[in-house]
Every structure is written in structure tokens, then in C-alpha cells.
A and B are shown apart, each in its own frame.
Chain A
Amino acid sequence: SQQGEEDPQALSIQEGENATMNCSYKTSINNLQWYRQNSGRGLVHLILIRSNEREKHSGRLRVTLDTSKKSSSLLITASRAADTASYFCATVGDTGANSKLTFGKGITLSVRP
């Protein structure tokens, strides 16, 4: 399975600190996406990084991709209490059989005011 696995499973930080979340996957990918889910709500797309990209930024978010290590990281800088949510990485494989979006179990981030 190419399913992404996030690490750590849970993260608790103080407001203003940076939060780093990691994702590892098993097979080669076309792209990797990060999503956020507030409690009891649907997922919201944050950022997509393609296999030929190494880093992308969006506001306070920074995503890196290392295809040689089959891993990605999501960095949230200057965290806020409103960033408290679950974060999921999802991968899209580069072959027909693995071309659907496959999610990991998620990371629970708590940002203390």
C-alpha cells in the first residue's frame, strides 16, 4: 500500500511555536497533498506538492518532499490556537493501480493559547 503514515500521532505546542509534522509513504508518487480537519468537520485541502517539487509555501505553511526518502513534512510557523485540528497527508501514486488519493491516519495538533 502507498498509504501515508504521519508522525507523530499527536502534537501539543504553545501558541507562537512552530509545528512540524511528518509523513512517510511506501511507493512512488505523482503528488502528495496535506489536508486539515477540524473536529467533526470535513477535510480542507491545504497544499499539493508534485513529485518533481522539493518545497512549497502557502502563507504560514511550508511543505517539503524528499522522494528519495519517500517522506514529506508540513511546517506551520507561528502557530495559533485556531490551528488546532487533525492534519492528514494523502498520496497519489504514479501508476494506474495506485492513482487514487490515499490518506494516512492523521496527526492531532493541539495549540495551547
Chain B
Amino acid sequence: ETGVTQTPRHLVMGMTNKKSLKCEQHLGHNAMYWYKQSAKKPLELMFVYNFKEQTENNSVPSRFSPECPNSSHLFLHLHTLQPEDSALYLCASSQAVRGGSDTQYFGPGTRLTVL
């Protein structure tokens, strides 16, 4: 276990549904990240939070809405998704965002299928 948990592990949703992914880290880190992993593509960074403040939004469509209420919790709210949004969504944390030099610790991911 890496100290980063994600729920749910699997999610199937229709295009009109609203759902949320949850990530929690037990490592005392200050930075948290959302990544999207699709088959045969590099890992895509979606959002970065540093000390609860969003520091990066990598041109992610507005149907993905992140929330970081504190340094230990990160949510990804989903609404009106498209089938091409089906992927493995990975959460990660690190000590802080310092030029990316810190090692990132990943959760097990949420396998999302959009019908």
C-alpha cells in the first residue's frame, strides 16, 4: 500500500449521470494530483493542488470538476461525461509541488466506464 486510497475502484455511469471520485492520502503530503490513463497513451496530468490551492488545470473539459477541501482529500466530480472519458483515473500525492522533483505516490486508481 502506498498510503493513497481511492474510491470507488470501479465505476460505470451513463452520460447523464453525476458521480464523484474520492482520493485520500495518509502521508502528510501537501500536493495532490489527478491523472487520466487511457490505453496506449501516456499518463495525462489533469489537475494539481498545492496546499489546497489549484495550481494547474491542464486544459481539462469543464465536465471534470476537482475539489480539494484539505491537503488530505481530493475529489473529482463528474457530470455529462462522454464515452471517450472512459479510462483509469489515478490520484497521486507528494510532499509539495517543488518543480516536480518530489516523488509522487499513487493510489490504485478508479476504472471508469462511461456508457
Contacts and interface: CB of A to CB of B under 8 A. Distances in A.
14 contacts: A31-B101, A41-B108, A42-B2, A42-B90, A42-B109, A44-B106, A45-B104, A99-B99, A99-B100, A100-B48, A101-B45, A101-B104, A105-B40, A105-B41
Contacts of B2: 42, 44
Interface residues of B, number: 24
A31 B100 CA distance: 9
Interface in A74-107: 88, 92-93, 96, 99-106
Contacts of A106: 42
- The range of chain A's interface size is 20 to 34
Nearest to A98: B100
Given A33-B103, A88-B43, A101-B100, 7 more contacts: A3-B42, A41-B109, A42-B90, A42-B106, A44-B106, A102-B42, A103-B43
Interface in B20-48: 40-43, 45, 48
Across the A-B interface, give the 5 residue pairs with the lowest CB-CB distance, nearest first: A42-B106, A92-B100, A103-B43, A99-B99, A43-B106
A40 interface: yes
A104 B42 contact: yes
Contacts of A12: none
Contact of A92 (B4, B41, B99, B106): B99
